[in-house]
Structure formats: structure tokens, C-alpha cells
Chain A
Amino acid sequence: MQPYATWKYVLLIIVMVLGGLYAAPNLYGEDPAVQIATQSGDALANDFGDVVGKTITEAGVKAKLSVLKNQQWLVSFEDEGAQRLAADALKRAMGNDYVVALTTASKTPEWLRAIGAKPMTLGLDLRGGVHFLLEVDIDDVRKKAVERYLTELPAFLRKNDIRYTGRHQSADAVLLDFADADKLSAARSALAKEYSELMLTVLPNAPLTLEVKMSVTEAKRIVDFAVKQNLTTLRNRVNQLGVAEPLVQRQGQNRIVVELPGVTDATQVESLLGATATLEYRAVDESDANLAASSGLVPADSELFYTRAGHRPVLLKRDIIAAGSQLVDAASTVDENGSPAVSVTLDGSGAKKMFEFTEKNVGKPMAVLFKEREVVTNYNAKGEPMREHRDVQEIISIATIRGVFGKRFQTTGLESKEAHDLAILLRAGALAAPVDIVEVRTVGPSLGADNIRRGFQAAVLGLVMVMLFMVFYYRVFGAFAIAALVLNIVLIIAGMSIMSATLTMPGIAAMVLTMGIAVDANVLIYERIREELRDGQTPHASIEAGYDRAFLTIADANVTVLIGTLVLFAMGAGPIKGFAITLALGILTSQFTSIVGSRSLAYLVFAKRKLKDLPIW
């Protein structure tokens, strides 16, 4: 028998060493840690580490390790007590501009981290946390776009001296009426030139009406833009929550996944994710609001609102002095009386307008209007979702203007938690379109730990049973197969760690399943070797024939399993993707370990011996 090529042994050894190295971080476990990042996501200052170090030392805690990782400062500690003390100290010292979150840091030693080795990411089902699936309301996006065109197009026509006699809005189109066909065609050509993204049609049953619709690509672009903006806003909001390693990701055309490891109270987060709260500062119309409320007659330049406390009617001027969009910063704080407040900083134009207004109106009242749009999903008799928007518009405070101010001021009239949430919402920006929460999965930490323990036990039991069976049935060759199997598991773990793939409970199931499938390759080879022996071939020739002939068969069989996993990967989300990745990886590595791995061992042991029979029976 030809000895197995040296380069194959070398390759095998390299793979074993690399596999071992990159799988190793998973053995080290984790330390409690604190993670600090800027609120805005900006880079940390150069001397930031010193500041952190000093704060922690002053708190009387000893840090184990303090490093910069992905724009975040990560400090690990010996125990959770130290972690909590340090986190409290850091929160106090850093203030509102930084996010301080509790997390864990891998105990992977420096030399392993230097080569890029890191542990696998655990899915939410293994470490606990909340998973949200949000759906962006596309209809609302389209409707808003149509509304925008409804004001923009007539303005454009007026500018070009083209008279129209009427304008209205249908579900997804703007309709413009004209007095005669000439005007219509003039408008049509002018609009076509300026707005290439619009489709202009004259309806057959109304020859003097021009129907203006967005082209399919434009409608798609608008939705895409809104989803991307929402993604940014949600990311900002999530960053403010102070959760370690959050995930905000687009899924499909109009869905967004938010995963928050370690969070177990979904309620608290949910209101913050979907909310579209903002503030408006308006002048108070001092005419009789009670009369307006009872008669329904509201002055033309005013609107009627109610106060949150006491539900009292108040008339506010339509003109907005400053709105949430002009806000550059907001922080929750307490006012001089100790009641909760939001401290607000306006941008240049907002500050200027506020300054001008307050200058002229000292002694007069100004109101803060709180606007929130909630999406409520109800289900009809057929179980179909019916989405309803509920607009909340309340006056949260009316204060007399005591002096001139511009850029910075405080808003009161909120409860403590509200002030906190509102500050976050104002800071993170408004959502471009309302979102609806279509899926929430919360996994408690104890369940996650249980899943890991169970998965591990099942894997060990599976391995031991397969091991016993293979050694009992195939003797020495069974041991080769087991060695290959163990290497295969190490390679799966290494591969997942390198790819930063997420390990989920179905992923563990896939790993266990892979053991069964990987061993299959060896069974195929060994049965073949036995067959050759029965046919009277020499032991050496049998080994060679067994491995050579089985190779393609194994590859063929593996490809069909891969097709199944590929489909799963394409359609699946979350845990199922984890299953598909793990299974696919396991099958690919098994093609190497079961064949090259076990063959190397067989050749190493038997190639140079004189044999009458093989210890395969």
C-alpha cells in the first residue's frame, strides 16, 4: 500500500492546530464586565481609558482588564459585586453623554485574541433576552408621500403660471383638474420634465383630470428610504437603552429585527421602540377656550387642545415656535422644585425663533404640546390584523414666559419615567414611519442556561453512544471514526467562532445530528472495506479501495443534505438560520474529517504492517 501523502498529514495537523486554537476561546468562560460608549456613537477620546481607570480606582474597585473594543470601552472584573460598584461609579461620573451597560467579557487570553480567536456568539434562546420583529407601515409612508405631492405639485404649477381648477387625493394618487385640454397638456409636459419619478395619466372617464402617481421604482425607493431612516432611529434609541451588544437589523423589505440580550422586561422597551413622541412649543391663544370647546367655533389661526392634567380645554396658535425636529439635545433632569423635567437644547433656527418670540411675549403664556402616535393592532373576526393609529396630543405644561431665552431651557409637567423616555425619544430622532410590533420573544436567563446544559448533555450522550457502538462494531476502525468525529466537532465550533455565527438551540441539535451524519461517511467506507475483504482482496488493497470508492458517494450524499440546509438558510430567521449554518458547516467539515482524518489514522497504523486481516470485524 502506498503511504498516505506527507502533505495530507501536514494539512491535517495544520487543520487540527488551527481548529483547536480557534475553538479554544469557548472553553474559557466569561467575566462580568462594564461597557462604556458615547451616547452619539462617536469615537471615544484618546485619554478615555485614563478617565475610566481613575473613576474605577476611586470607587475602590480593581479592574481585571480594560480595553477598547469596537468603539466601546470594556472593563472586566473578578466578580459581579465589583462590576456593579464600578458601573454605578461610572454612570455618575460619565453623565448623560455616555452609555454604561453591564455585560460580560470573555476570559480568552491575550495571545489567543491576538490571532483573532473569539468565542461563539450565543443566540437569545441560549443566553436570554428579547427579540422584536417590527414592521414598518408602508401604507403610511406612501400616503405621506402623496400628501407631500399634493402641496408640492400645485405650488410648482402656480410658479409656472399653469392654472388648475382643483386638486384632490385618492388612495395612492394626486388628481389635478384643469379647465381645458391645453392647460392639461401644458401641465403634463412641465410636470414630466421636472418630476421624472412620477407617472402622469389622463383618466379615460375624466379627460380634464390628470392623475399623478409615483412610479413603481419611486414608491419602492421611498419605502426603502423610510425603512433605512427608521433603522437609524431605532439604532439610536436602542443605544440609549444601555444594553450590551444589541442588534438592529433589517429583514426583508419592510421589517426590522431588534435583539436585546439580557433584557427580560419587554414591556419597558416595547413602548420606546414603537413610540413616535415629539414636542411642540406654541403660543397660547387667550380667548375663551371653554366657549370654543362647547360651541365648536375655533378661531381660524388656533387649534383646540386639552391639558393632560385635568383635561382642560386650551386654545393654541397654529404657528409652531419650535418643534422636536429642531432639537439638538435633550436630557432628563429635575427642575429647581425637584420635579422631573426635560432639559432641551435647540438648533440655530429654533433658538433664533424662540428668542424672537420670548422677547416679544414676556409675561404671556407658552404651551408645550406633547404629540404621540401609537399604533394599535387589533384583530378582526377572521384573525386578520387591523392596524389603527391613535394620536395622542396633550398639553403637558403651560408656563408664563418670565424672561427671554433661546437655545437652552427646561420643560416640566411630566412624570419621572416619561421625562426619561421623552428625552431618549427626542434625542434619538423621530421615526420616519410608524412601526408595528409583529413578534416579541422573551427568553428568561434561566431557560437559556437550561438549554445550554441540556444541549451539552444530549451531545455528550450522543457522542458516547455513537462511540460505544462504533468501537464495538468496527473495532480499531471505529476508534478512528470517533477521533475524526471529535475533530469534526472541534472544527464546527472553530468555524462558527471564526464566522461569528450565532449558536442557537436548534444549532446544538444540528451539531448532534451532524455526529450521526458524519459517522455515516465512515460506515460507508468501512462497509466497503469489509466487502473488499470478503471478496478476497488483501487488507491493504481493501483499505485503499474502501476510501477511494466511497469518496464520491459521500460527496453526493452530502450535497443533497446541503441543498436542504441552503433552502433553510435562505428562508429562515434567527434560530433556524443557526440550525442551517451549523448543519452546513458540520457536513462540509465532515467531508474532510471522516475521509482525510480517519484515512490518515488508518494509514498511519496499518500502512507499514504486514497484515492477514484487518481489525474491522
Chain B
Amino acid sequence: MRIFAKVPNINFMAQRKAGLWVSSLLSIGVILMMVLGALHLGRNLNFGIDFTGGVLVEVVYPQSVELDSVRNDLKAGGYHNPIVQYFGGTQEVLIRLAPEEKENSSAISASVLQALGAEQKGVQLRRIEFVGPQVGDELTVNGSLAMVFAFIGIALYIMFRFEWKFAVGAIAALIHDALMVVGFLWIFQVEFDLTTLAAILALIGYSNNETIVIFDRVRENLINQRKGTIYDIVNLSVNQTLLRSIITHVTTLLVCTALFLLGGPSVHSFSISMIVGVIVATYSSIYVSTGLAVALGVSREDLLPPETKEIDETP
């Protein structure tokens, strides 16, 4: 199937300044939104117990159940601020209890089940997780460190394979993508747990794919075509790789959608993060990473093999 009869010729780079502005404003907007939201509305990322510590209980009722009745049962049992939500269907219920409401780490399972009237109502315990706050704090530190290390590792690799201006562009795109995903998770209060963090780290590696494909093509075109400004060559490269980017995203979106639809609630936030990230990455690979590299003044010389070699090759 053909979408384009020939390579499209869209002048992407004409909007590169606008693109960079939009991306910068969006990124700053997301940061401001989250900071102000946290300060004034008390709305944070919906961190899972992996990060906050606390107790999480998943139970199944034999038939559909009202969340309010579950809440009331728990309150009567002495749990004052339980977070109760459906997990999958209206029979599966997820209960989160804050860390200070913890008694003995495992005695709680018995007492929660008792509060729910498990025996009379035939409630079945599917899983119970207790995470101490020290573990959660540590994970927050480690998770942030992991992101930083991933950024540094990728930057070093791109510097080694390409050039520092490209590395700066690529990292800017990665930060942009990560921010957009986190912003999305914040707005829709999708649970941010360990798997979500894994999704973001995988995404950091994956969204970089596009960037590298474009950079690779820019280098190839620079070597093969002696004419044309850097601007023309970047434009050409983006156009040449455009279809491939779109197709790849379609396949990745397909598998992530499959995960979202059938993978069950435990991979929900994972698949949502991936879907959002993949969509954002298409845009950022063109306008953030490539656009920034051009704005930083990537030149022919930056990417060409050393001068002496070229002289040798000229007869």
C-alpha cells in the first residue's frame, strides 16, 4: 500500500522556531501546572504505594458492589481515610490505606477482611501489599536517579556516535516526552507506580529511536549530497524518514492498545503511559531534537569525516 507516490516534501524546518517555542512553553506549562496544583489544590501525581508506602488490598466480591458501602464498612472497621476504587470490573475493588493507619503489617489483612465482612459476603482476597515508608522514599530517590542516569547514558552514546549538538537535542526531546507523559498522568490522575516508572524509562529509550533515525539520515545525506544547506538536508531527512516514523508508531500503538484492552488493570498505567509517550515522541523527534540541533547550529563539518580523508579520496 502506498500513502505517498514519492517522498513527501514538507517544509518542516520552516516552523522549527515556532515548534521549539511551543514545546518549551508546553514543558514549562506542565511543570507550573504540577507545582501550582500541588501547592494550591493539593493535587499531586497519583503515586502508588510503591512510592508512598501504605497498604493496598485487592478483593473480589461475588457480585457487583457499591464503593460507598465498601467505604462505610471500612470506616466502621476503624479505617478513616480509605481510598476505594473499582479495579477492572464492579466486583473487583482496590483499597488503599495510608501508612499511618497500619497496625501490624500482616495482621491488617485479617482486620480489613473482617471489616469488609468477608466471610458473610463471600469476599475473596486477591492480593495484599504492604510497603513501609522507608522503602517508598528510597524508591523515589532511586527512580529519579535512574532517570538521570538514563539521560546521561543516552547523551553520552549520541555524543559518541554523532555530535554534542545532537545529544543536546535528543536529551531535550526526552525530557520533553517524559514531562508530557507525567503531565498527562497528573491531569488524569493515573496511578504512578513502579510499572509506570518502567514505562517511562522504556519510553525514554524508545522515543529516542525516531531521533536517531533522523540523525542517521541527516549524516548520510550530508555525506552523499554536496549541495544544499544544512537546513535543506535536515528537511529532506525528516521527509524521508517520516513514513517510517508513522508506521512504526502505528505498530507500537497497536501492541500497547492490545495491552491496554486485554492486559488487565495491573498494566493499565503502563500501557497508557506508553501510548501517550509514543504519540508525543513523533512530534518531539522532529521539532524538539532535530529542531534544537539545527538551532544550535549543526553544520556539515560537525558530522563529516575528518578533512584529510576527503582529500585523499579526491583524485
Contact = CB atoms under 8 A, between A and B. Distances in A.
Contacts of A568: 146, 198, 201-202
Contacts of A413: none
A527 B198 contact: no
Given A441-B130, A443-B127, A505-B267, A553 B53 contact: no
Given A440-B129, A512-B263, A583-B202, A458 B153 contact: no
Interface in A169-193: none
B263 A566 contact: no
Contact of B252 (A458, A461, A516): A516
Given A442-B128, A563-B153, A583-B202, A458 B133 contact: no
Contacts of A579: 195, 198, 202
Interface in B249-286: 250-259, 261-264, 266-267, 270-271, 274
Contacts of B194: 572, 575-576
Interface stretch (A17-25, A277-285, A466-474): A466-474
B107 interface: yes
A506 B102 contact: no
Given A267-B110, A524-B244, A553-B213, A560 B255 contact: no
A465 B254 contact: yes
A512 B258 contact: yes
Interface string A434-445: 001111111110
A444 B241 CA distance: 48
B151 to A, nearest CB: 9
Contacts, number: 244
Given A385-B132, A472-B1, A513-B256, A557 B208 contact: yes
Interface size class, chain B? 35 or more
A266 interface: yes
Contact of A617 (B2, B150, B264): B2
A506 B254 contact: no
Given A438-B135, A447-B127, A457-B262, A516 B205 contact: no
Contacts of A506: 195, 198, 267, 270
17 contacts: A270-B106, A379-B133, A444-B126, A455-B267, A458-B258, A473-B1, A473-B247, A505-B267, A510-B202, A519-B251, A527-B244, A557-B213, A560-B209, A560-B212, A563-B154, A571-B143, A579-B195
Interface of A: 125, 133, 135, 264, 266-267, 270, 376-377, 379, 383-385, 436-444, 446-447, 450-451, 454-455, 457-459, 461-462, 465-466, 469-470, 472-473, 505-506, 508-510, 512-513, 515-517, 519-520, 523-524, 527-528, 531, 534, 549, 552-553, 556-557, 559-568, 570-572, 575-576, 579-580, 583, 617
Interface of B: 1-2, 6-7, 53, 58, 60, 99-100, 102, 104-107, 109-110, 124-135, 142-143, 145-146, 149-150, 153-154, 157-158, 161, 194-195, 197-198, 201-206, 208-209, 212-213, 216-217, 220, 240-241, 243-244, 247-248, 250-259, 261-264, 266-267, 270-271, 274
Given A459-B258, A513-B259, A576-B198, 7 more contacts: A438-B132, A442-B127, A446-B126, A447-B58, A447-B126, A454-B264, A567-B149
